[in-house]
């Protein structure tokens, strides 16, 4: 009937992404050569290509290279969405296409230009095509961007630096001062990324890491993500320290982790509790509050909190059987949890603590 046909048609016209044919879509990139550029049309073609790749379609180097070169024509357009899609395309194709360095100057121009929306994303695209030899040329800009006032620009530069550190560690090491400055940022993500980069640069130097942690534990970091990271670094430092000097729990780093149990962010509280119960040689004074928090999480309405708590208790059931046994009643409540992962973890934990009586119940 007419009505039915119309419904079918509606379903069919819903999306241009159904039944896409790789060769047909690649043909469409010819449109990129037209002047003036039609931003709407070109954005859609580019989206189709990225969608196909995301669905698992493989491009051979020749196809990717042709597509990449066609895409470079789109730099003529000033349309923001199209430009951002070109950056995505560059990142996606840079590992398959050849001669991708051809876009270096366009990206460098965007990265140093006035438009903040371009700058942050251009940095990330640029660093995906930059190799060791070209890094020297953009080093000055990278350093400036790390300390840029715009948080998105700073984050993009920090995250990209961390990526580059794998292939050009010696160059990135020279950006430590800038990362240090970014660490004082008010923006929580900038602070987090700066700490990540700084730690990466210094991680082979035990003394430098120790100094960094000592300094940061005394100044309250604003970013909960950064605090979680700092807790992990502190744990590592404590584990590696010479234990003959005395009780671990007395170190200022442990005092910092313990203080994090009273943080306002749930993720930090949990990170701290998790760290404490997993650390070797912790004394009961610090262990007790950490276990109370896990116990509290066991009866939280949020699935993720209960899961996190029981997963942690499950892991430490061997090292702290007595402490976990005090949580047995809470764990028993989780045996029938609607979430199967939680129920399974609760059961295996109880089996480890050997509470046969509770299994009976």
Partner 1 sequence: IMEPTLLLIKGMCIMDNDGNRILAKYYDKNILPTVKEQKTFEKNLFNKTHRSDNEIIMLDGLTCVYKSNVDLFFYVLGSTMENELILLSVLNCLYDSISLILKKNVEKKAVLDNLEIVMLAFDEICDGGIILDADPSSVVKRVDLRNDDLPLGDQTVAQVLQSAREQFKWSILK
Residues at the contact surface with partner 1, assessed by CB under 8 A: 14-15, 17, 40, 43-44, 46-47, 50-51, 54-56, 80-81, 84-85, 88, 91, 117, 120-121, 124, 152, 155-156, 159, 162-163, 189, 192-193, 196, 199-200, 203, 225, 228-229, 232-233, 235-236, 239, 266-267, 270-271, 274-275, 278-279, 302-305, 307-308, 311, 338-342, 345
Least distance (Å) between residue 85 CB and partner 1: 6
Query: Closest CB to partner 1 among 200 and 352?
Result: 200
Query: Closest CB to partner 1 among 26 and 233?
Result: 233
Query: Closest CB to partner 1 among 219 and 338?
Result: 338
Query: Closest CB to partner 1 among 259 and 356?
Result: 259
Least distance (Å) between residue 35 CB and partner 1: 16
Q: Residue 142 in contact with residue 112, Cβ under 8 Å? A: no
Least distance (Å) between residue 68 CB and partner 1: 18
Nearest to 311 by CA among 276, 338, 342: 342
Least distance (Å) between residue 271 CB and partner 1: 5
Least distance (Å) between residue 7 CB and partner 1: 14
Q: Using CB atoms within 10 A of its CB, is residue 91 exposed (0-12), middle (13-18) or buried (19+)? A: middle
Least distance (Å) between residue 175 CB and partner 1: 15
Least distance (Å) between residue 314 CB and partner 1: 11
User: CA of 17: how far to CAs of 49, 54, 174, 311, 350, in Å?
Assistant: 10, 12, 46, 41, 50
Query: Closest CB to partner 1 among 73 and 84?
Result: 84
Nearest to 327 by CA among 340, 343, 310, 339: 310
Query: Closest CB to partner 1 among 100 and 235?
Result: 235
Query: Closest CB to partner 1 among 117 and 351?
Result: 117
- Distance in angstroms (rounded) separating the CA atoms of residues 229 and 225: 6
Query: Closest CB to partner 1 among 211 and 354?
Result: 211
- Distance in angstroms (rounded) separating the CA atoms of residues 123 and 110: 8
Least distance (Å) between residue 82 CB and partner 1: 9
């Amino acid at each position: 009937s007419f009505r039915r046909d119309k419904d079918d048609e509606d379903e069919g016209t819903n999306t241009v992404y159904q039944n896409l044919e790789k060769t047909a879509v690649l043909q469409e990139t010819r449109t990129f050569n037209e002047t003036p550029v039609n931003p709407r049309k070109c954005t859609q073609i580019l989206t189709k290509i990225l969608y196909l790749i995301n669905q698992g379609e493989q491009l051979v180097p020749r196809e990717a290279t042709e597509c990449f070169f066609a895409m470079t024509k789109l730099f003529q357009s000033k349309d923001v969405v199209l430009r951002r899609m070109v950056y995505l395309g560059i990142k996606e194709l840079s590992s398959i296409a050849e001669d991708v360095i051809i876009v270096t100057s366009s990206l460098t121009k965007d990265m140093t230009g006035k438009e903040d929306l371009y700058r942050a994303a251009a940095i990330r695209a640029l660093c995906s095509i930059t190799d060791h030899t070209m890094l020297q040329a953009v080093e000055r800009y990278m350093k400036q961007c790390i300390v840029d006032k715009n948080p998105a620009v700073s984050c993009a530069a920090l995250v990209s630096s961390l990526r580059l550190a794998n292939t050009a560690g010696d160059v990135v090491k020279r950006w430590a001062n800038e990362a240090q400055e970014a660490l004082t940022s008010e923006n929580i993500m900038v602070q987090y990324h700066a700490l990540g980069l700084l730690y990466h640069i210094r991680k082979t130097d035990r003394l430098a890491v120790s100094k960094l942690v000592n300094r940061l534990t005394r100044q309250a970091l604003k970013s909960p993500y950064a605090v979680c990271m700092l807790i992990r670094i502190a744990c590592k430092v404590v584990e590696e320290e010479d234990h003959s000097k005395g009780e671990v729990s007395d170190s200022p780093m442990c005092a910092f982790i313990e203080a994090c149990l009273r943080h306002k962010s749930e993720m930090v509280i949990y990170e701290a509790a998790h760290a404490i119960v997993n650390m070797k040689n912790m004394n009961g004074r610090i262990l007790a509050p950490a276990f109370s928090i896990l116990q509290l999480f066991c009866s939280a309405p949020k699935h993720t909190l209960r899961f996190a708590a029981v997963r942690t208790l499950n892991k430490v059931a061997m090292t702290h059987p007595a402490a976990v046994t005090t949580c047995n009643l809470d764990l028993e409540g989780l045996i029938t949890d609607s979430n199967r992962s939680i129920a399974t973890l609760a059961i295996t934990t109880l089996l480890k603590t050997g509470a046969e009586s509770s299994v009976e119940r």
